[in-house]
Amino acid sequence: HFKKMFSFITDVSISEYVRRRRLTLAAFDLQKSDIKVIDCAIKYGYDSPVSFTRAFQSCHGIVPSRVRDEGVSLKAFPRITFQLTLKGEVEMNYRIESVKAFKVHGVEFIVKNTNEENFTSIPEFWDTNYANGTVKRLEQITLNNPVKNLCNVNAIMCYEMTDKDTFPYMIGLVDFSGDSVVPSDLKTVDVNAYTWAIFRTENHKPSETVEKIQALWKRIFPEWFPNSGYEHAEGPDMELYFMLDDNLSYSEVWIPVVRK
């Protein structure tokens, strides 16, 4: 969960941050010393000069052997420091709620959490499933446990272990009864009983959903968790979307928590 929290706060994955810092320091070493490219590659964790050169050029736009050329332009990624700021001018709407086990049924996508790909690949996944009719199909499925104003199609993530720098993301139906009949081709995720910290956006236009929920995510970890008395439990996170009668909507972020 540290990797996910780091990404939410900084807008960059921890692996990408480490990669950028290594290549920044490698450029400094090559500029200020007589270190050979192959030795620099080994120093900063690359298996070969070829892989180092490829990564270096991707980051800086030039090959390592040109670093000492006069007038060469390089990129430096500063060391990130965190400063805890307690903000009170904007309230956060949240509640703590224990919910029994339930199921989520939907379509899955394995998200890469490197090079900030998740910030583009998830919206693209939604666009694809709107275009191919999957979202409309999910919207038409009847669940046994209708929750007032809750849209049929929601999102759940990080519900299973995947490879390094990836996490699973599902567009799906949140089946709180756990016994709804759904098409067999949908993937089913069993969500255990948890205590959830549930954060709510203000009411907004449906077109503002992405903007509002991303802004909420960015506040939860630095502003709420440090003094809440809770910590993130091992379990999935969810986004639930609600539509009100006056053509306004709101969203909720569900995060499983345990007391410290």
Residue 86 lies in a domain: no
Q: For residue 34, give both structure tokens.
A: 């007589």
In the structure, what pLDDT confidence band is assigned to residue 70 with cuts at 50, 70 and 90? Answer: confident
Residue 249 lies in a domain: yes
Q: Residue 93: helix, strand or coil by DSSP?
A: strand
Q: What is the mean pLDDT of the chain?
A: 88
Domain end call among 21, 49, 66: 66
Q: For residue 161, give both structure tokens.
A: 């272990």
Shared domain for 209 and 117, answered yes or no, is yes
User: pLDDT by residue (tens digit) across 72-129?
Assistant: 778 888 887 665 555 555 678 889 999 999 999 999 999 887 766 777 888 899 999 9
Shared domain for 120 and 194, answered yes or no, is yes
Mean pLDDT on 173-182: 93
User: pLDDT by residue (tens digit) across 178-236?
Assistant: 899 999 999 999 999 999 999 999 999 999 998 899 889 888 888 888 878 899 999 99
Shared domain for 111 and 200, answered yes or no, is yes
Number of domains within the chain: 2
Q: For residue 158, give both structure tokens.
A: 């990080």
pLDDT of residue 171: 98
Residue range(s) defining the domain that contains residue 138 = 93-259
pLDDT of residue 162: 81
Q: Residue 135: helix, strand or coil by DSSP?
A: helix
Shared domain for 223 and 164, answered yes or no, is yes
Residue 164 has pLDDT above 80, yes or no: no
Residue 254 lies in a domain: yes
CATH number reported for the structural domain that contains residue 11 in this entry: 1.10.10.60
Shared domain for 56 and 112, answered yes or no, is no
